[in-house]
């Protein structure tokens, strides 16, 4: 029993190390930029944040599309904080309604393409891949939820790209009708992308004015905490119930 538990712990640590590597690197970069400015002459904290937003604001819609596509991917998307592209791009657009509308459309399209690819990965078999990257238990969880209610599961999990990519893969593995999956995905993606864009339009700049550069630190810390929770605190059998009144 102890031997088996040790193997499981090692697997958890290995998976956690992989997932947490990117946010830890960003955390180190953050402290180098903001806490060691007496050693090296660097832009002020506020100026640096402005540079980040200006950089994102000057990127082409195609670049934003590619970043969102990666965020919605099954494997690479698990290493990125879900929704970071829409958060920073919408905030950087300021009050430009036309640009925000275009960004929302481009990001929605990217997520739709990404989730479709995830569906196909699940449809044609991903057992070895799921085992390798340690996501098989999460796939099983969402397979059970999809068995109860396809529309409800898709709609209420598409608020976050990391979860949505796994749900899309689980839908493919269950051989759920592609037309049904595609239609429900469009509804879920449009609703949540528009919802977050609206929230960010009205409150994004307020958050930045209150927190300033520390907004970036908050994102990184939350990212690390989510990874830690997912790997060490969340029970494998934990299952969020959804209404089972109709398998739409």
Per-residue pLDDT of 19-42, as tens digits, reads 666 667 666 666 655 555 545 555
Contact (Cβ atoms closer than 8 angstroms) between residue 7 and residue 219: no
Helix axes 161-173, 136-148, angle to 10 degrees: 70
Contact (Cβ atoms closer than 8 angstroms) between residue 74 and residue 121: yes
pLDDT in tens, 110-132: 999 999 999 998 898 776 666 66
| Structure tokens, 130 | 């799921």
pLDDT band at 191 (very low <50, low <70, confident <90, very high): very high
Contact (Cβ atoms closer than 8 angstroms) between residue 24 and residue 59: no
Task: Please give the residue that has the higher pLDDT: either 96 or 233.
Answer: 96
Q: Per-residue pLDDT averaged across 54-75, rounded? A: 79
Contact (Cβ atoms closer than 8 angstroms) between residue 242 and residue 148: yes
pLDDT band at 242 (very low <50, low <70, confident <90, very high): very low
pLDDT at 71: 85
Indicate if the pLDDT at residue 92 is higher than 90: no
Cα dist from 165 to 18, 44, 85, whole Å: 18, 37, 16
Domain boundaries, the chain: 2-233
**What phi and psi, each to the nearest 5 degrees, are found at residue 61?**
-60, -30
Q: Per-residue pLDDT averaged across 65-86, rounded? A: 74
pLDDT at 107: 92
Contact (Cβ atoms closer than 8 angstroms) between residue 91 and residue 127: no
Return d(Cα 196, Cα 190) in angstroms, integer: 10
Task: Please give the residue that has the higher pLDDT: either 169 or 209.
Answer: 169
């Amino acid at each position: 029993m102890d031997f088996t538990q040790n193997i499981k712990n090692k697997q958890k640590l290995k998976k956690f190390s992989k997932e947490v590597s990117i946010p830890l690197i960003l955390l180190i970069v953050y402290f180098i930029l903001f806490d060691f400015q007496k050693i090296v002459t660097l832009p002020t904290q506020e100026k640096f944040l402005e540079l980040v937003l200006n950089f994102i604001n000057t990127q082409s819609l195609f670049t934003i599309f590619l970043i969102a596509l990666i965020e919605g991917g099954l494997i690479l998307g698990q290493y990125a904080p879900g929704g970071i592209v829409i958060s920073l791009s919408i905030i950087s657009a300021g009050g430009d309604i036309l640009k925000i509308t275009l960004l929302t459309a481009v990001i929605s399209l990217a997520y739709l393409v990404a989730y479709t690819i995830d569906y196909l990965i699940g449809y044609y078999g991903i057992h070895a891949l799921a085992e390798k990257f340690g996501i098989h238990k999460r796939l099983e969880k969402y397979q059970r939820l999809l068995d109860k209610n396809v529309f409800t599961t898709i709609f209420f999990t598409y608020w976050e790209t990391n979860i949505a990519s796994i749900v899309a893969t689980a839908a493919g593995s269950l051989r759920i009708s592609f037309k049904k999956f595609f239609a429900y995905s469009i509804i879920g993606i449009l609703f949540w992308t528009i919802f977050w864009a609206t929230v960010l339009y009205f409150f994004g700049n307020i958050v930045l004015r209150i927190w300033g550069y520390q907004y970036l630190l908050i994102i990184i810390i939350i990212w690390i905490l989510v990874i830690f929770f997912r790997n060490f605190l969340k029970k494998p059998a934990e299952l969020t119930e959804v209404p089972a009144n109709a398998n739409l």
